Amino acid sequence: MTTLVRPATRADLPLVAQLIRDLAAYEKLSHAVRFDEATLGEHLFGPRPMAEVLVAEQDGMGQGFALFFHNFSTFEGKPGIYLEDLYVRPEARGAGLGKALLQALAGLAIARGCARLEWSVLDWNAPSIAFYRSLGARMMDEWRIMRVDSAALQQLGAVSQG
């Protein structure tokens, strides 16, 4: 079995979109998927990409992906990589694709002078938590994610628009 991790191209957009939908179904969040594929493509492969994607292939077939972007640590004074989503199709799990994706991301972080690689994991996802810990990741228990979206985002941003 041949494994390959490579940067996604615009030609991979249908695969990436399907893997995002598959991830949402796995996380029981299919109802939250609202992206338009053309807009997603512009944000990933357009003139000013907002995120990057790595694709994991097994024998030439796309079986997983990692979508990530740069963040910045003011305390470190260096960039970091934030992994937004990592997913490997169930039938391809156990073959090392998840580990290969994380190794590729860690390699990119090192090559780009990043201080760290970070991501979030759902608290009920015990298999993923165990997997991440086996790779040396540690849980940041003292931190909580905050989010402003939908109407609250519109309301908060309305002051700067006026």
Q: Domain residues of the chain, as ranges?
A: 3-161
Residue range 109-145, pLDDT digits in tens: 999 999 999 999 999 999 999 999 999 999 999 999 9
Q: Which CATH number fits domain 3-161: 3.30.1490.270, 3.30.980.20, 3.30.930.10, 3.40.630.30?
A: 3.40.630.30
Q: Are 41 and 13 in contact (CB under 8 A)?
A: yes
Distance, CA of 51 to CA of 132 (rounded, Å):
22
Beta bridge partners of 118: 82
On whether the pTM is more than 0.85, the answer is: yes
Q: Transcribe 137-158 into DSSP letters.
A: ----TT-------HHHHHHHHH
132 is catalytic: yes
C-alpha 78/C-alpha 147 separation (Å) is 24
